[in-house]
Chains A and B, each alone.
Chain A
Amino acid sequence: MSEIGIYQQTILEHSKNPLNFKSLNPCTHQANGNNPLCGDKVEIFSNIKNDINNEICFQGSGCAISIASASILTKVLHKRSVVDCKIIIENFVKMIENKEFNFDLLDNEKKKLLMTFSELQKFPMRTKCATMSWSTFKYALNHDNNTFLNL
């Protein structure tokens, strides 16, 4: 583990070899996120059938934190219901923003995975790097296809 808490091995590995890094066409939900501060971009695709997030993937360019965060998002929210996705997203963002949160809907392995980002609380300038993909996916869930979110 590096001496800088946010660059833990899990985050570095996900940033170098992100999971589900591809586009999905056709899909039921898709949104683009953009961080105007740094120019980072993310595009999230998902197929939701019978209220279940059956398939989820992403594309984009950004820092290690934003890529790792999107990668872990696809792992954690896969096969979850839309309602569950929204609750987990809300609590992940709360954790990053140093507010009260819980990951009660998740098993220990996934909880641990999300907790690797808890060190971000000490880096308020990097909050958006961690939350961009999560806010973008939430936006996709709440809107019709082909949406664009400026964070």
Chain B
Amino acid sequence: MIDVKKQFPIFEKKIKGKNLTYLDSANSSQKPKSVIDKMNDFYSYEFANVGRGIYQLASNASEKYENTRQELKKFINCKDDGEIVFTKNSTESLNLIAHCFGEKFINEGDEIISTELEHHANYVPWHFIRKNKKAVIKFIPVDDDGNLLIDKLSELITDKTKIIAVTHMSNVTGTIVDIKKIKEIADKHNIPVCVDGTQGAAHLKTDMQELGCDFYAFSAHKMYGPTGLGLLYVKYKWLEAFDPFIGGGGMIDFVSKDDVAYAKGVWKFEAGTMPTAEVVALKESINFINQIGKEKIYKYEDELKNFAIEKLRKNNAVEFVGFPKEQGSVFSFNIKNIHSHDVSTIFDQEGVAVRGGHHCCQILHDRLNVNSSVRVSFGVYNNKDDILVLDEAIKKCQKIFS
């Protein structure tokens, strides 16, 4: 049992007179007081821009900013804190990789391997490259249960394959992808692997040495941290190989009328004023997760998910969208003959927050033959009571539409 709900001020709020049953953490997680307080404290008493001023406030702010990078280094077990780039969000992290890698290493006729599970954020940036470079995107298929058929990967690889872009965990079916297995196959052909860790980072083990991937994109706001801050692990060799993504202040070494030399390492990718308070407060989110422990979080959320699925399975009108063998704390379903948006509206009257729609995964919804679905996703603040409320809310939908 994890009892941290009290640390989240949002749960003091009533929604239409009812308690908030927040089942939308895959969309964004709620924030503990320690993170909110840190944002306030930093803006109130510690704020200055980082990496610029030489006065004490600026120096202290810069130190705090870099402290978070060091914490992240431990959090994802990378070799050097100089392998972590701060961005605007996970989407920007993935765009950075697609752009920097694609512009330099992908040419006409080259192939990118994606999967049918991907969020649009790990597909559309590669589509840009496909269009600009006349490249090809191939997809590792999923089966009807939403399991990724990794055995098909070897058949897709040719001497034209330049990169494999794959999610760590599906934001629709919750499918957990065996990145190590993908990496093993990729290594035989010397192909880099880009992982969308947006869903995985808050729930699964994020050990870069164990996963072995070249890139891992994730997002602060899905791991109890602030919005406006994306994170990107880039294996060191690529940092030097890539040209910059965005140009401006902070990413230069020197500038003259004839030429520009770029900063080294991660600084080359952090142009302009960064989300400073967000970076500083992220350290509190990491502390929050570490205090509970990743393994304990995984186990707790897994129990909740299993309890929810068992409960919902008893209802014949509930149709699950995918049923993967390895599943994180996310699943999607439809109630027979009721559209997901109608379900979401009725749920809202009960204080139940879920997401309805295609969850930015149209390719996966097409593959699983549904237009949209209702998604339930958990965070550490959820408990079994939330699932009982969910179950009642489903029955209410059925009653209205009977």
Contact of A61 with B401 in the complex, beta carbons under 8 Å: no
Most-contacted residue by chain A among B340, B365, B401 (CB, 10 A): B401
A2 interface residue per 8 A CB criterion: yes
Contact of A7 with B400 in the complex, beta carbons under 8 Å: yes
- Docked Cα-Cα span, A7 to B346, in Å, equals 9
- Docked Cα-Cα span, A123 to B356, in Å, equals 15
Contact of B365 with A39 in the complex, beta carbons under 8 Å: yes
B371 interface residue per 8 A CB criterion: yes
Contact of B341 with A63 in the complex, beta carbons under 8 Å: yes
Closest chain B residue, CB of each to CB of A125: B345
Contact of A38 with B342 in the complex, beta carbons under 8 Å: no
Contact of A38 with B356 in the complex, beta carbons under 8 Å: yes
- Docked Cα-Cα span, A6 to B341, in Å, equals 12
- Docked Cα-Cα span, A4 to B346, in Å, equals 8
Mark out the residues of chain B between 226 and 258 whose CB falls within 8 Å of any chain A CB in the assembled complex: none
Contact of B345 with A123 in the complex, beta carbons under 8 Å: yes
Contact of B362 with A126 in the complex, beta carbons under 8 Å: no
CB-CB under 8 A from B401, the residues of chain A are 7, 12, 64
- Docked Cα-Cα span, A37 to B357, in Å, equals 7
A129 interface residue per 8 A CB criterion: yes
A55 interface residue per 8 A CB criterion: no
Residues A38 and B357 in contact in the complex (CB < 8 Å), given A7-B400, A12-B401: yes
A40 interface residue per 8 A CB criterion: yes
B349 interface residue per 8 A CB criterion: yes
- Docked Cα-Cα span, A132 to B359, in Å, equals 20
Contact of A126 with B371 in the complex, beta carbons under 8 Å: no
Chain B interface size, as a band, is: 10 to 19
B283 interface residue per 8 A CB criterion: no
CB-CB under 8 A from B371, the residues of chain A are 39-40, 61
A65 interface residue per 8 A CB criterion: yes
Closest chain B residue, CB of each to CB of A126: B345
Closest chain A residue, CB of each to CB of B397: A7
Mark out the residues of chain A between 2 and 55 whose CB falls within 8 Å of any chain B CB in the assembled complex: 2-4, 6-7, 12, 37-40
Most-contacted residue by chain B among A2, A37, A38, A62 (CB, 10 A): A38
- Docked Cα-Cα span, A4 to B345, in Å, equals 9
- Docked Cα-Cα span, A38 to B345, in Å, equals 13
- Docked Cα-Cα span, A81 to B340, in Å, equals 36
CB-CB under 8 A from B203, the residues of chain A are none
- Docked Cα-Cα span, A37 to B339, in Å, equals 14
Contact of A38 with B340 in the complex, beta carbons under 8 Å: yes
CB-CB under 8 A from A12, the residues of chain B are 400-401
CB-CB under 8 A from A64, the residues of chain B are 338-339, 342, 401
How many residues from A make CB contacts under 8 Å with B?
A: 19
- Docked Cα-Cα span, A30 to B346, in Å, equals 33
Contact of B346 with A39 in the complex, beta carbons under 8 Å: no
Q: How far is the CB of A62 from chain B (nearest CB, A)?
A: 6
B162 interface residue per 8 A CB criterion: no
Contact of B362 with A39 in the complex, beta carbons under 8 Å: yes
CB-CB under 8 A from A7, the residues of chain B are 342, 346, 400-401
CB-CB under 8 A from B346, the residues of chain A are 4, 7
Residues A38 and B341 in contact in the complex (CB < 8 Å), given A2-B400, A4-B400, A12-B401: yes
Q: How far is the CB of B192 from chain A (nearest CB, A)?
A: 31
- Docked Cα-Cα span, A125 to B348, in Å, equals 12
Per-residue CB contact flags for chain B residues 304-346 toward chain A (1 = under 8 Å, else 0) read 0000000000000000000000000000000000111110011
Contact of A129 with B365 in the complex, beta carbons under 8 Å: no
Per-residue CB contact flags for chain A residues 51-71 toward chain B (1 = under 8 Å, else 0) read 000000000011111000000
Q: How far is the CB of B219 from chain A (nearest CB, A)?
A: 20
Residues A39 and B339 in contact in the complex (CB < 8 Å), given A4-B349, A12-B401: no
- Docked Cα-Cα span, A125 to B345, in Å, equals 9
- Docked Cα-Cα span, A95 to B357, in Å, equals 25
Closest chain A residue, CB of each to CB of B402: A12
CB-CB under 8 A from A37, the residues of chain B are 357
Residues A63 and B339 in contact in the complex (CB < 8 Å), given A39-B371, A39-B372, A126-B345: yes
Per-residue CB contact flags for chain B residues 343-379 toward chain A (1 = under 8 Å, else 0) read 0011001000000111000100100000110000000
Contact of B357 among A3, A39, A61, A126 (CB under 8 A): A39
CB-CB under 8 A from B358, the residues of chain A are 38-39
- Docked Cα-Cα span, A40 to B358, in Å, equals 10
A-B contact pairs, 12 of them (CB 8 A): A4-B346, A6-B345, A7-B400, A38-B341, A39-B365, A39-B371, A40-B371, A61-B371, A63-B339, A63-B342, A125-B345, A126-B341
**What residues make up the interface of B, taking CB atoms closer than 8 Å to A?**
338-342, 345-346, 349, 356-358, 362, 365, 371-372, 400-401
**What residues make up the interface of A, taking CB atoms closer than 8 Å to B?**
2-4, 6-7, 12, 37-40, 61-65, 123, 125-126, 129
Other contacts beyond A4-B345, A126-B341: 12, CB < 8 A: A2-B400, A4-B349, A37-B357, A39-B362, A39-B371, A40-B341, A40-B371, A63-B342, A65-B341, A65-B342, A125-B345, A129-B341
Going nearest first, the 3 A-B pairs with the smallest beta carbon separation are A63-B339, A63-B341, A38-B357
